[in-house]
Structure 1
Amino acid sequence: MARIRSSSLSMYSFLSSYVTQKLNPDLATTSQPQTTSSKSRRLHPTSYLDGLRGIASVLVFLCHYTEENHRYMLPTYGVPYENDNVASSPFQLPFLRLVFSGRPMVHIFFVISGFALSYKPLREIRARNFKGFHAALSSSAFRRPIRLYGPPLVSSCIVFAMVCLGLVYKPQPTFRDQLEHWASSTFYQVLWPWSWDTELRPRYDLHLWTIPIEMCHSMLLFVVLLTLSRVRYHVRLFVTVFLMNYCLSCGRWAAFEFIAGMLLAEFHLKAAERRQAQLKLYEHYDSPDAGWPNNKPDYTWGINVLDAWTPSAFPHNDPTTPQKFWFALCAVGVVCVAREALESRFAQYCGRVSYAVYIVHGPVLELLQTKITGEPGRKSLGKYGYPGYKLGGARLRAQGADGRGDGGQRTLCWLLGLVFFVPLVMAAADVFCRWVDEPVVDVARRIERRCAIDEFDRTPNPAGDASDRDRWHA
């Protein structure tokens, strides 16, 4: 038993040390060792953002699991689901419902992306190293399409194979039709960067709708960084805040979040300079909470006030549109104040596999959720007490609990489903991270090294002989 425990600790230590070596190398600056029972665990000044992204990706998975299999958990506590008059689950209470409130997490992703992409270029700007700034910016811009599009392309190919085998969705009449359908859907719904913040709803994995938004706003951020690279700090600060307000006033929530991430990176670097780049920037504050229901927010105390105060740029014709304004603001606040718990081993591991979790959880749910939890969202048929009556809702077949009799059974059904899906999704994400995500990052670096001009070529001979001029223009 002691030998097994020792082996487990050694493997756990290895995984935790592997996290910060592989995850977000662009953010790694000054490493901070922290001693553990077996090996030291190295953290960099922004490791907490990796942990935050990891936890957020897990909550997105929990959100989709709940929305697709246990929709009775979605209304505010005390509001009946489809007038069934069944007591609510305790997890529907404010704050507790955060565990499956994945929609705000997407906004946190975008703030973190703005922070991560801005961190190194801003560091070079503040050091007046404009040569280093150009190298950092061009490197990020060059690798960004490969980094963002590579893993989703692989996952969509896997889903395409699953469709052809009849495991998920309804296949097209012929293989050629299926191939054309996949190619068109992938190009126009995953690789299409012109949608800004429109949900394109990709057919081969609905949850990849954020990828085009990530791509186009990453490029917008690079343009903003380039434009403001040679202006003074206070001017850059003023223009950044102006752009944030302008984006919000136009209803462009994703642009606001990316540029807000840039602003937070600027503040982080400013404070790091003031405190010798070793002290923590953010102290322990209470994290801002969110628990905005997707429907009828005006029925929820407190939320109804915020809903009424939502700017007109976020119209109420869709109940999920006003929440985007508040989620954007809360996302900035969460990135500001959360740190200590996000540097834990679990959070850092989640950070390492975060992109993989986001990509694979949809196909895993699509493949297995009807086999494990039953068909989601079925309504009751007939009249209770009469022949032919069939009770609707989701059912956890593996455990024999239908989860529909009362709030307690519904909560049990929801929890038991997680017992099955959490290990499955995390295992699939770990494999995908090792075999797809991390190799794609390495491929992007290798392509950049092959294509980029080396240091010798960037410095032509002052004498200007023909060979040097040819190398410069190559």
Structure 2
Amino acid sequence: MIFLPKAPQAIIRHFLLRFAGAPDTSTGAPRPANMSARDNRQNIKWVEGVRGVASFLVVVTHLARAWDYGLFWPSDGPEEAPRLLQLPILRIPFQGRIGVMMFSFLTGYVCAIKPLRQIKSGQTSAALTTIAKSAFRRPPRLIMPATIALVIAWLVTQLDGFQVAKVCDSDWLRDSSPAREGGLGHEMLRLMWDFQNSWIHGTPSYDEHQWALLPFLKGAFLIYMTLAATCYMKFRARALTIFVLWAWFWCSNDWKTETFECMFLYGVLLCDIGSEVDFREYVNSRPKARRIVQTSLIALGLYVGSYPEGNIEFAAWSRGIDQFNFLFPADNDPPKRWSAIAWHLIVLGFWLSPTLQTIFSNKLFMWLGRNSFAVYLTHGTLLRAVLVRFIYGFSIAPFSMERPENADPIYHWIPRTQNWFAWTVAIPLWFSMLYVVAHLWTTYVDAWCAKVTRWLEELMFEKEEEEKPRGAGLV
């Protein structure tokens, strides 16, 4: 037996244990068997949880638009004190805008996860295959469930299901609720034109909330083209290229580039950087600095994201933010620009925070995330056909119209209930109904659409070499 001093024995034992993959008893920490193959995976479950929050915020925003549009202002008047929900930060869930941006960012992040993982592991050909198949799946996975939701909204229209919404005292509900314009033949032709408008112009009339699906579809292909064009680049070159693309869209004043294109690319950029092991180790080795940075980013993002949609001059804090509008290109939309900056900062804080990622990865948020697309597709019809009846009743008898001579008609819309108890019961009950319907939609409708998409993929794609039966291709 060879006797060695204690220190060399400890060193030898340490390296033997590391090589074997057993825990090092000197520290109690397990070691990987192959130290050269570091784990390049990152926590992505939190993305699904954030998606669930985004869909919830979209619904809350539409409730505010329907019945309390003053929440989009800093106060109800220039001399009036703000209400609680009009204060900075507290107003964000109700004033909207940020929910669609969250969906855009998450689309970029999720679409890039698998291709970037394959690219970084040297499987570039596999990454291109993944991009090709993802690009094929995206249209049917968006168009099929959206079309089913559109047909349901059309059927509700034919059955006068939106009749109460068309004559209620909410301008937004009246303007966004469809009505029959003719006989069945005319309405069927109108449905076909509405489907076309949804995917060419993004202007559906039976379910106007589907306007964002066309930009989402286009954005997915922007992501796929970007990944395909940069898949052979080094990490830093690819990150720089994506950043330049992001900056190009940010400097544009075209319609909603800050809502869609910038967010798609920002999601790809953070996914790419976050999958770098060296970067994660660098950040995690400095927990105090990381917490300070992430907290500051989230706090600043929440503040600037409070920028109101109108009547900015009603409050000093909104006038203060308004002074920095020179940062944006000419002829832009300042409320959306500030919301975009807000989400850039907030999600960067989430991305840097393992604690927040753990919170958003719990079962509740994950369940909300799984049902988020179904909530987005169904909430408009349920809002105008069901919730309005909880608030206004089932009869349109209170509605009337006067036709004075030589004057415009005078409309007496159905008034909303003034019973606060009815509101506190109706809205939670309706939310419960919405999420039950969304869960059933995800379980059956969305699953069926996924099955059809897989069938189409198997029908139209060549089998990969390892999937072909032995002897295939031989003459």
Superposed pair shares fold, TM > 0.5: yes
Paired letter, 2:376 = Y
Q: Which of 251, 258, 264 in structure 1 is aligned with 2:270?
A: 264
Amino acid at match of 1:231: M
CA contact (8 A) 1:283 1:337 kept: no
Query: In structure 1, what is the equivalent of residue 230 of structure 2?
Result: 228
Computed over aligned residues only, the root mean square deviation of the Cα atoms, in angstroms, reads 3.7
Aligned partners of 1:434, 1:109: CA distance in 2, in Å? 21
1:325 aligns with 2:334: no
- Equivalent position of 1:22 in the other structure: none
Counterpart Cα distance in 2 of 1:329 and 1:446: 41
For 2:328 and 2:91, the matched residues in 1 are separated by: 27
* Structure 1 residues 87 and 234: CA distance shift in structure 2, 3 A: closer
User: So what's the TM-score if we normalise by structure 1?
Assistant: 0.73
Q: Does 1:305 align with 2:311?
A: no
Please point out which of 49, 52, 57 is paired with 2:50: 52
TM-score (norm 2): 0.73
Does 1:355 find its partner at 2:355?
no
In 1, are the aligned partners of 2:71 and 2:94 still within 8 Å (CA)? no
How many angstroms does 1:262 deviate by? 0.5
Specify the code of the residue in structure 1 equivalent to 2:311.
K
Match of residue 142 from structure 1: 136
Return the structure number with greater helix share.
2
Task: Give 1:119's aligned residue.
Answer: 113
Give 1:67 shift: 0.7
1:248-279 deviations in Å (ceiling 9; x for gaps): 00132221111111001101111378659x99
Aligned match of 1:395 in 416, 420, 425? 416
Distance change >3 Å, CA 248–CA 273, structure 1 → 2: closer
SS in 2 for 1:191: helix
The answer on 1:344 being equivalent to 2:351 is no
| Cα offset, 1:102, TM superposition | 2.6
3-state SS of the aligned residue for 1:230?
coil
Task: Count the aligned residue pairs.
Answer: 388
The change in CA–CA distance for 1:173 and 1:91 in structure 2 (over 3 A counts) is same
Structure 2: distance between partners of 1:88 and 1:308: 21
Q: Which amino acid aligns with 1:224?
A: T
Which residue identity lines up with residue 86 of structure 2 in the other structure?
A: Q
Aligned CA distance change for structure 1 residues 79 and 235 (closer, same or farther; 3 Å): same
Structure 1 position 129 matched with structure 2 position 123: yes
Name whichever of 112-121 and 62-71 sits farther off. 62-71
Q: Structure 1, residues 291-329: CA drift from partner, whole Å, max 9, x if none?
A: 23221234343333333323453526xxxx212222222
Q: Quick check: 1:91 aligned with 2:85?
A: yes
Per the TM alignment, residue 334 of structure 1 is displaced from its structure 2 partner at its CA by 2.6
Deviation for aligned residue 1:223: 0.9
- The offset of 1:219, in angstroms, is 0.7
Report whether the alignment pairs 1:187 with 2:196: yes
**1:2-13 maps to which residues of 2 (within 5 A)?**
none
One-letter amino acid of the structure 1 residue matched with residue 338 of structure 2: W
2:72 alignment counterpart: 74
Return the alpha-carbon distance in structure 2 between the equivalents of residues 106 and 280 of structure 1: 33
Shift of 1:439: 2.5
User: Residues 363 and 87 (structure 1 numbering): CA distance in 2 closer, same or farther, change over 3 Å?
Assistant: farther
Over residues 30-62 of structure 1, what are the superposed CA-to-partner deviations in whole Å (9 max), with x where a residue is unaligned?
xxxxxxxxxxxxx98211010001011011101
Match of 1:294, as an amino acid?
Answer: E
Cα distance, 1:242–1:177 mapped onto 2, change above 3 Å: same
The structural deviation recorded for 1:73 is 3.4
Question: d(CA) in 1 for partners of 2:412 and 2:131?
Answer: 58
Task: Determine the structure 2 residue equivalent to 1:170.
Answer: 179
Match of 2:453 in 1: 444
Structure 2 spans left out of the alignment, 5+ residues:
1-40, 163-177, 351-356, 402-410
- Is the 1:70–1:414 Cα contact (8 Å) retained in structure 2? no
Contact 1:62 1:100 (C-alpha < 8 Å) held by counterparts = yes
Percent of aligned pairs with the same residue?
20
| 1:209 correspondence with 2:227 | no
1:436-463 Cα distance to aligned partner (Å, 9 max, x none): 12322233233223322222389999xx
Shift of 1:222: 0.9
Q: What SS is found at the alignment partner of 1:468?
A: coil
CA distance in 2: counterparts of 1:460 and 1:347, whole angstroms: 43
Q: Say which one has the larger Rg.
A: 2
SS of 1:373's equivalent in the other structure is helix
Distance 1:95 1:394 in 2: 31
Please give the secondary structure, in 2, of the residue aligned with 1:62: helix
**What amino acid is aligned across from residue 64 of structure 1 in structure 2?**
H
CA contact (8 A) 2:387 2:427 kept: no
Task: Determine if contact 1:185/1:203 at 8 Å carries over to the other structure.
Answer: yes
Counterpart Cα distance in 1 of 2:269 and 2:224: 13
Question: Which sections of structure 1, spanning at least 5 residues, go unmatched?
Answer: 1-42, 382-389, 402-411
- Give the direction of change, closer, same or farther, for the CA distance of 1:273–1:293 in structure 2 (3 Å limit): closer
Paired residues of 1:61 and 1:102 also in contact (CA < 8 A): no
Deviation of residue 422 (structure 1)? 1.3
Aligned with residue 365 of structure 1, among 352, 369, 383: 383
Contact 2:95 2:309 in 1 (8 A): no
Provide the secondary structure at the position in 1 that maps to 2:91. helix
Deviations for 1:320-355, whole angstroms, at most 9, x for unmatched residues? x21222222222333232323211222111101000
Q: 1:369 to 1:72 in 2, by over 3 A?
A: farther
Distance 2:459 2:52 in 1: 31
- Residues of 2 paired with 1:280 and 1:166: CA distance? 61
- Please give the secondary structure, in 1, of the residue aligned with 2:132: helix
Q: Distance in 2 between matches of 1:393 and 1:166?
A: 16
> Is the counterpart of residue 218 in structure 1 residue 215 in structure 2?
no
Q: What is the alpha-carbon distance in structure 2 between the residues aligned to residue 421 and residue 272 of structure 1?
A: 47
Is 1:294 equivalent to 2:309 in the alignment?
yes
CA distance in 1 between counterparts of 2:80 and 2:412 reads 13
- Residues 388-409 of structure 1: CA deviation (Å, up to 9, x unaligned): xx99996336xx34xxxxxxxx
- Distance in structure 2 (CA, Å) of the matches to 1:263 and 1:455: 30
Distance 1:175 1:413, change over 3 A: same
